[in-house]
Structures are given as structure tokens and as C-alpha cells.
């Protein structure tokens, strides 16, 4: 397999909303129970952990309300990315995404915003330093790899739960006026694997110093298969 260019890796990182509609996967993290999940876009998620099934629907935040002088509040209505046509590249990846003001990009959340970023890792497409790009087969699926670090311009979905924890994400979380929180050599690089067919992060693990068990891996079982409505019925 030919290693991707940085440009192609970044394009894959922001293509996920248009590369699949359903997914069956298991997420594994150190010292935690595996989470098996079924996702149906837009807005339906079922997870099973420790033998219990949970259903989550909708995007993980409230809608903004537009207020005009002398008028009643009106909800800001955004639509799923699948309702919008992005600008496509010749390689079948997205060249430019529609803006956030008109699109609800987030999938339903489980645990933290890291889950949302795992499914749509647009934060890897800018403000990142990438090196050692490779392409391999992982569980029979083409996977693109890079050693990544967040740098100026890195924009995690939520600064408390970045894919690339490091100096830049800590600065964002602490505020612009905060000083350095630790020495530069105390932060890791992150070995990130993106599934070529879906854009989903299938591996994100620290390389180098890290204070606590971190990172995750993902097993992808089925993509774009019909998932029964009963799977997402409230319990």
C-alpha cells in the first residue's frame, strides 16, 4: 500500500460524515470495559457495556436560540451533513466541508467528546504536525497512520477531550493567559490510525511520556449494513 500524503491524510480526517451511514464497532480503552456500539446516521446510537444496553439519540448539545429586537426567539435549525454536498476531491475524499453554522456534525455522544471526535476526526485536519505517514492493512482494512501532535491552530471538538492531548490542548483548556503547564518533553506524540474507507479513528495511542493510561483502539465489524429500528428503541 502506498503511504498517504499529509494532504490526503488531512482530507480523510474531515471526510467521515460522507463516507458511511451505519457502523458496528467495539471501542477498547485501558482499564475500562469494552464498549460495543451500533451507529446509524443521523443521530442514533446504541451501546452495550458490561451487559447493559443503552440508546442515545440526537446531537450532544442544545440548539442556540436567535433573538432579534422586538421579536420572539427562534431556534437555530441545522441539518445533518448527509443533507449537504461537500466539495469532493478526485481521490474520493472531501476537499471542503460545509460550515458549522448550517450543519450538525456531531454524532450522538457516549462517555466524552472524544467519542464524537473518534467518529468524525476533523480536528486532525488542521493545526497538527504529522510525520512518519504509512498505509497498512489492519484486520483486513486499509488504515492510514501518522505520528501526530497538536500545534497552533489545533481545534479539538472540546478542549477537555482532545484526540491529541498535549501542550496545545492544555493551553486551550486552561485559557490563553495560562503559562506552560509542564515541560515540552513531558508530552507524547500520538500514533493515529484512520480507517481509509470510513475516516474513523481506529487507533489513537501515546508514544512517549504520558502520566496515566490513555488512548483507545477500535474494532470495526460492519459498515453500511441495515440496522434494525428495534436496536435503537428506548428502554
Q: Is 125 contained in some domain?
A: yes
Q: Is 69 contained in some domain?
A: no
Asked if residue 191 has a cis previous peptide bond (ω within 30° of 0), the answer is no
Q: Is 1 contained in some domain?
A: no
- Kind plus residue range of the DSSP H or E element containing 100: none
Q: Are 222 and 33 in contact (CB under 8 A)?
A: no
Q: Note the pLDDT of residue 63.
A: 46
Q: Is 97 contained in some domain?
A: yes
* Of residues 28, 34, 36, the one with CA closest to residue 53: 36
Q: Note the pLDDT of residue 67.
A: 45
- Domains: count for the chain: 1
**95 to 146, 192, 226, 227: CA distances (angstroms):** 20, 21, 28, 30
Q: CATH number of the domain that 199 lies in?
A: 2.50.20
Q: Is 196 contained in some domain?
A: yes
Q: Which domain holds residue 181?
A: 6-64+74-232
Give the range with max mean pLDDT: 60-64, 98-102, 231-235: 231-235
Q: What's the pLDDT tens digit per position in 86-136?
A: 999 999 999 999 887 778 888 999 999 999 999 999 999 999 999 999 999
Q: Note the pLDDT of residue 209.
A: 83
Sequence-separated (6 or more) residues with CB below 8 Å from residue 177: none
Amino acid at each position: 500500500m502506498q503511504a498517504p500524503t499529509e494532504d490526503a491524510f488531512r482530507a480523510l480526517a474531515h471526510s467521515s460524515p460522507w463516507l458511511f451511514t451505519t457502523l458496528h464497532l467495539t471501542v477498547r480503552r485501558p482499564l475500562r470495559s469494552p464498549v460495543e456500539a451500533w451507529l446509524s446516521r443521523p443521530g442514533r446510537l446504541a451501546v452495550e457495556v458490561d451487559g447493559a444496553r443503552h440508546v442515545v439519540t440526537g446531537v450532544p448539545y442544545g440548539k442556540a436560540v436567535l433573538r432579534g429586537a422586538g421579536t420572539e426567539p427562534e431556534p437555530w435549525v441545522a441539518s445533518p451533513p448527509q443533507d449537504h454536498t461537500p466539495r469532493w476531491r478526485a481521490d474520493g475524499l472531501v476537499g471542503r466541508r460545509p460550515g458549522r453554522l448550517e450543519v450538525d456534525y456531531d454524532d450522538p455522544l457516549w462517555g466524552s467528546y472524544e467519542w464524537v471526535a473518534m467518529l468524525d476526526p476533523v480536528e486532525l485536519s488542521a493545526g497538527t504536525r504529522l510525520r512518519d505517514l504509512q498505509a497498512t492493512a489492519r484486520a483486513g482494512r486499509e488504515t492510514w497512520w501518522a505520528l501526530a501532535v497538536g500545534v497552533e491552530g489545533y481545534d479539538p471538538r472540546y478542549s477537555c477531550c482532545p484526540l491529541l492531548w498535549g501542550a496545545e490542548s492544555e493551553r486551550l483548556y486552561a485559557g490563553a493567559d495560562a503559562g506552560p503547564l509542564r515541560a515540552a518533553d513531558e508530552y507524547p506524540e500520538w500514533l493515529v490510525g484512520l480507517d481509509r474507507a470510513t475516516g474513523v479513528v481506529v487507533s489513537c495511542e501515546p508514544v512517549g511520556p504520558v502520566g496515566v493510561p490513555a488512548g483507545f483502539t477500535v474494532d470495526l465489524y460492519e459498515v453500511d449494513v441495515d440496522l434494525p429500528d428495534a436496536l435503537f428503541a428506548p428502554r
